[in-house]
């Protein structure tokens, strides 16, 4: 096990544990207002301090992790669930009109960055966590479709795929049986990257008010609350900021570690 795998795994696990534990225990009720104790710097009672309503920031960070994980998870799920089959399909029919349509459709979605999609959805349906998930998820589809197709195409010219075709297997079956297992590594790595991007995107959408709405806690909105108070209570911005940075870094380092850990096996088999 490499150092990056351990470090990334630990940071990512820390966030997941915080989110899970928050279902049964948080130091304080994260919604309880306590005006007399507002804007406290981190201390022995409130480990991460309190916000402008006197809420315990540590509890809010724990519960906020739930929102981040949920949004990023579902968004990656949408991307994998739709993008991978589309990419496999396009690769199996390389050069056909179907391939062309799928890939041009991907390019089109890339022209709408997730924030623009979110703005459109919000303009029509109003803001909310579900809309944030859709906005981030739609943008994940072409990412996975491209990665899948890009990795599948060179495999299609390999002789073991030809051998499978000589054995009478059809495109769909070859895609699932031979292509998918050989690109799974790549997809896992890409999923960790998209997961971290999802957390960043959720934070950005919540920050501008297009994401999770009160009272659902979210790291992005904690930062929005902090903006006007940053000069008198810097911890209000620092705490959620570090939560986001450490989580995203953890996932990225984990992705790098996975890439290194999973890739050489493929190379050994070629050596």
- Positions that interact with other proteins (CB under 8 A): 104, 107-108, 110-116, 119-124, 158-160, 162-169, 178, 181-182, 196, 200, 203-204, 207-209, 223, 226-227, 230-231, 234, 237, 240-241, 244-246, 248-249, 252-253, 266, 268-271
- Of 146, 164, 186, the residue nearest 266 (C-alpha): 186
Q: Output 36 or 181, the one with its CB closest to other proteins.
A: 181
Contact 155, 120 (CB under 8 A): no
Q: Output 128 or 241, the one with its CB closest to other proteins.
A: 241
**Token digits of residue 14:** 């820390």
Helix 114-125, helix 129-156: angle, nearest 10:
140
Q: Output 73 or 200, the one with its CB closest to other proteins.
A: 200
Q: Output the smallest distance, CB 44 to other proteins, in A.
A: 25
Q: Output 24 or 268, the one with its CB closest to other proteins.
A: 268
Q: Output the smallest distance, CB 110 to other proteins, in A.
A: 7
Q: Output the smallest distance, CB 11 to other proteins, in A.
A: 10
Q: Output the smallest distance, CB 207 to other proteins, in A.
A: 5
- Of 188, 164, 190, the residue nearest 175 (C-alpha): 164
Please tell me the distance from the alpha carbon of residue 159 to that of residue 149, in angstroms, as a whole number.
Answer: 18
Please tell me the distance from the alpha carbon of residue 8 to that of residue 96, in angstroms, as a whole number.
Answer: 41
Q: Output 102 or 121, the one with its CB closest to other proteins.
A: 121
Q: Output the smallest distance, CB 28 to other proteins, in A.
A: 24
- Of 195, 190, 193, 184, the residue nearest 76 (C-alpha): 195
Q: Output the smallest distance, CB 24 to other proteins, in A.
A: 29
Q: Output 80 or 243, the one with its CB closest to other proteins.
A: 243
Q: Output the smallest distance, CB 182 to other proteins, in A.
A: 6
- Chain centroid to Cα 213, Å, comes to 19
CA distances from 223 to 5, 42, 189, 207, 217 (A): 30, 16, 29, 6, 11
For residue 215, cis peptide bond before it (omega within 30 degrees of 0): yes
Cα separation of the two ends of the chain = 22
Q: Output 59 or 196, the one with its CB closest to other proteins.
A: 196
Tokens 């899970």 locate to 20
């Amino acid at each position: 096990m490499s150092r990056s795998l351990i470090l990334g795994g630990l940071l990512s696990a820390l966030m997941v544990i915080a989110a899970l534990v928050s279902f049964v225990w948080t130091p304080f009720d994260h919604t309880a207002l306590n005006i007399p104790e507002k804007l406290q710097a981190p201390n022995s009672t409130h480990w991460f301090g309190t916000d402008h309503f006197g809420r315990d920031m540590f509890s809010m960070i724990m519960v906020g992790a739930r929102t981040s994980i949920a949004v990023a998870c579902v968004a990656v799920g949408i991307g994998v669930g739709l993008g991978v089959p589309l990419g496999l399909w396009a690769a199996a029919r390389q050069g056909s009109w179907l391939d062309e349509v799928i890939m041009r459709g991907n390019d089109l979605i890339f022209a709408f960055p997730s924030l623009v999609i979110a703005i459109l959805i919000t303009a029509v349906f109003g803001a909310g966590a579900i809309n944030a998930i859709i906005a981030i998820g739609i943008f994940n589809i072409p990412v996975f479709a491209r990665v899948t197709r890009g990795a599948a195409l060179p495999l299609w010219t390999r002789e073991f795929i030809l051998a499978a075709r000589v054995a009478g297997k059809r495109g769909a079956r070859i895609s699932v049986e031979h292509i998918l297992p050989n690109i799974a590594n790549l997809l896992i790595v890409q999923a960790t990257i998209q997961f971290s991007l999802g957390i960043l995107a959720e934070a950005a959408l919540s920050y501008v008010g297009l994401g999770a709405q009160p009272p659902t806690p979210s790291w992005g909105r904690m930062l929005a609350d902090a903006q006007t108070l940053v000069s008198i209570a810097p911890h209000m911005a620092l705490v959620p900021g570090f939560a986001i940075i450490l989580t995203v870094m953890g996932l990225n380092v984990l992705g790098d570690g996975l890439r290194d850990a999973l890739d050489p096996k493929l190379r050994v088999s070629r050596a």
